[in-house]
């Protein structure tokens, strides 16, 4: 059954009062195991070559060749509470050491100075990482003597270069830190059918979603637009396939995928770390129940005060009217590619109608910037008309404490015209840590609901949302 399966069986133990007494322990153990989760198999997956991981182990800690700031600021790599890179695994494969990127590289994040496993990484930059690692790999491979390279080494080295070069494709990659492109996954369906990537394939960039509540979310549909059918566990393998994994290997380790996805139901959101005004939050709750509840639903707690997860509501685009780039990639031709893929018993589509989920708001305080594409810096801005929202803001160290605006709940935004002008110049020059809403897929339009509330009502509403 494996560790995941044994633990999943353990956590269904119930107390005599009928309440799950192990939810906090289940959350801790799931997060602990998640930090080491990866799907590298048969020499393929999200890999660094044997030579490169060896060089990293020697050069980075000892010589400081690639410093921590480069990893954090340029690639969006996070360091966990043990001061280790989050998501880089050193795996043995046929007598070689292989660097393997694990799931937690993207699915852990920082908010207000806290490291949170299961929160989307606000600064991950997969295209920049791919470009840099591809360049390093291309040169480093010539420094490793051929006498040290057996067949297994060469296979992993070739697979690694194939992966990072695809990740670095500027035509389909993300344009800003913290966003990941669905085109990376879509491309696999074309490649597996022997077709070239379409020249007009949309990037479909989204921020990395949080994983708490995933068990209920997947039942309603996969991804922010509900495209994937989550009835059968397994859409997590799509990233590995896009990274170069084979369908045959996926079939072999599919039980591990199911156990991992099932374990996500144990994850709990981080509680708001600062003081909350209970009176103001109580008023905000009444405002919420008279406004936002129709899309985002009600929130229940168990006897231990922990959230009870529910499925989100899917909202047609004609109502929410947020950025369409993600939806523009839907087509009958692509659906046919999904139908004909060799893992179509797992990777199935549910709908290609145009719309997005109104996400459940558990832990919403930590999930800034907001909307599916991360185009709105904080909740106060989301409660203003789209035309008045900041068109540009910085993503630099977005999870640090000093970047968290307690009053507006989310990212700080430019406070001075000179600061704004400097950001605009950087964005025009292509800065990847500046969010510019004029970029493709970055529009901050839509979701113009209850923007006419009085300021004190908005403040109360935000105070209530801190409690979720």
Query: By the 8 A CB rule, do 325 and 304 touch?
Result: no
Q: Can you point out the beta strands (E) in 17-87?
A: 47-48
Please give the pLDDT value at position 83.
82
Task: Give me the pLDDT at residue 55, please.
Answer: 66
- Arithmetic mean of pLDDT, 23-48: 92
Cβ atoms of 177 and 262 within 8 Å: the answer is: no
Residue 97: the pLDDT is 87
Residues of the chain with pLDDT > 90, as a percent, come to 76
pLDDT surpasses 60 at 60:
no
Query: What is residue 149's predicted lDDT score, i.e. its pLDDT?
Result: 87
- Tens of pLDDT, residues 8-19: 444 443 333 344
Contact 103, 87 (CB under 8 A): yes
Cα distances from 141 to residues 40, 64, 94, in angstroms, run 21, 20, 18
CA 197 to CA 210: how far, in whole Å? 29
Residues forming a β-bridge with 108: 117
Q: Where are the domains of the chain?
A: 2-266, 279-465
C-alpha neighbours within 13 Å on the C-beta side of residue 390: 29
Most confident of 29-33, 56-60, 67-71: 29-33
346-373 average pLDDT score: 95
- In this predicted structure, which of 67-71, 183-187, 292-296, 337-341 has the lowest mean pLDDT? 67-71
Pure H helices in 168-236: 183-192, 214-220
- DSSP state string for 435-461: EETTSTT--------STTS-HHHHHHH
Distance CA 438, CA 447 (A): 17
Cβ atoms of 405 and 417 closer than 8 Å: no
430-446 pLDDT per residue, tens: 999 999 999 999 999 99
Task: Kindly list the distances between the CA atom of residue 387 and the CA atoms of 326, 391, 428, 447, in Å, as whole numbers in the listed order.
Answer: 21, 9, 21, 12
C-alpha triplet 98, 103, 107: angle, nearest 5°? 145
pLDDT band per the 50, 70, 90 thresholds, residue 318: very high
Q: Tens digit of pLDDT for each residue in 338-358? A: 999 999 999 999 988 999 999
Collapsing DSSP states into helix, strand and coil, what is residue 19?
A: coil
Candidate ranges 29-43, 230-244, 454-468; pick with highest mean pLDDT = 454-468
Residues 6+ apart with CB under 8 A from 286: none
pLDDT band at residue 389 under the 50/70/90 scheme? very high
Three-state secondary-structure class, residue 419: helix
Could you tell me which of 136, 123, 115, 56 has the C-alpha nearest to residue 89?
Answer: 56
**Average per-residue pLDDT for the chain:** 90
User: Which range is least confidently modeled, 29-38, 81-90, 317-326?
Assistant: 81-90
pLDDT in tens, 136-184: 888 878 877 776 789 998 999 999 999 999 999 999 999 999 999 999 9
pLDDT of residue 460: 98
pTM of the full predicted structure?
0.91
Kindly report, residue by residue over 250-295, the tens digit of the pLDDT. 999 999 999 999 999 999 999 999 999 999 999 999 999 999 999 9
Q: How many residues does the chain have?
A: 468
Q: What percent of the chain has pLDDT over 70?
A: 92
Q: What is the spatial distance between Cα 208 and Cα 203, in angstroms, rounded to a whole number?
A: 14
Q: What is the maximum alpha-carbon separation in the chain?
A: 73
């Amino acid at each position: 059954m494996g560790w995941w399966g044994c633990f999943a069986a353990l956590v269904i133990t119930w107390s005599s009062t009928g309440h799950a007494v192990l939810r906090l322990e289940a959350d801790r153990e799931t997060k602990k195991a998640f930090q080491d989760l990866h799907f590298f198999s048969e020499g393929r997956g999200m890999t660094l070559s044997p030579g490169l991981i060896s060089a990293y182990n020697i050069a980075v800690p000892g010589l400081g060749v690639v410093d921590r700031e480069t990893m954090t600021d340029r690639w969006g790599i996070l360091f966990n509470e043990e001061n280790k890179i989050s998501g880089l695994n050193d795996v043995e494969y046929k007598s070689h050491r292989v660097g393997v990127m694990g799931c937690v590289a993207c699915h852990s994040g920082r908010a207000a100075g806290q490291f949170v496993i299961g929160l989307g990484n606000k600064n991950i930059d997969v295209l920049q990482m791919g470009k840099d690692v591809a360049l390093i790999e291309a040169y480093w491979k010539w420094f490793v003597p051929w006498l040290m390279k057996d067949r297994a080494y060469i296979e992993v080295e070739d697979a690694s270069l194939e992966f990072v070069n695809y990740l670095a494709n500027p035509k389909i990659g993300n344009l800003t830190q913290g966003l990941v492109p669905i085109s990376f996954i879509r491309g696999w369906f074309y490649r597996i059918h022997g077709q070239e990537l379409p020249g007009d394939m949309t990037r479909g960039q989204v921020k990395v979603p949080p994983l708490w509540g995933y068990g209920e979310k997947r039942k309603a549909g996969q991804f922010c637009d509900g495209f994937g059918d989550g009835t059968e566990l397994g859409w997590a393998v799509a990233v590995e396939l896009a990274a170069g994994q084979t369908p045959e290997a996926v079939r072999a380790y599919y039980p591990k995928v199911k156990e991992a996805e099932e374990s996500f139901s144990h994850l709990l959101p981080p509680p708001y770390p600062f003081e909350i005004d209970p009176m103001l939050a109580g008023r905000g709750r009444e405002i919420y129940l008279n406004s936002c509840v129709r899309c985002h639903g009600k929130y229940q707690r168990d006897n231990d005060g922990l959230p009870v997860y529910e499925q989100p509501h899917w909202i047609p685009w004609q109502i929410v009217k947020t950025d369409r780039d993600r939806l523009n990639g839907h087509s009958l031709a692509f659906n046919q590619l999904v139908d004909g893929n060799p893992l179509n018993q797992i990777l199935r589509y549910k709908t290609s109608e145009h719309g997005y989920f109104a996400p459940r708001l558990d832990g919403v305080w930590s999930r800034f910037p907001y909307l599916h594409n991360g185009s709105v810096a904080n909740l106060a801005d989301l409660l203003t008309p789209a035309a008045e929202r900041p068109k540009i803001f910085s993503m630099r160290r977005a999870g640090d404490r000093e970047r968290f605006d307690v009053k507006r709940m989310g990212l700080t935004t430019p406070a001075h015209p000179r600061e704004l002008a400097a950001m605009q110049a950087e964005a025009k020059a292509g800065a990847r840590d500046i969010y510019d809403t004029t970029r493709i897929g970055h529009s901050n339009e839509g979701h113009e609901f209850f923007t006419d509330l009085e300021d004190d009502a908005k403040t109360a509403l935000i105070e209530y949302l801190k409690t979720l």
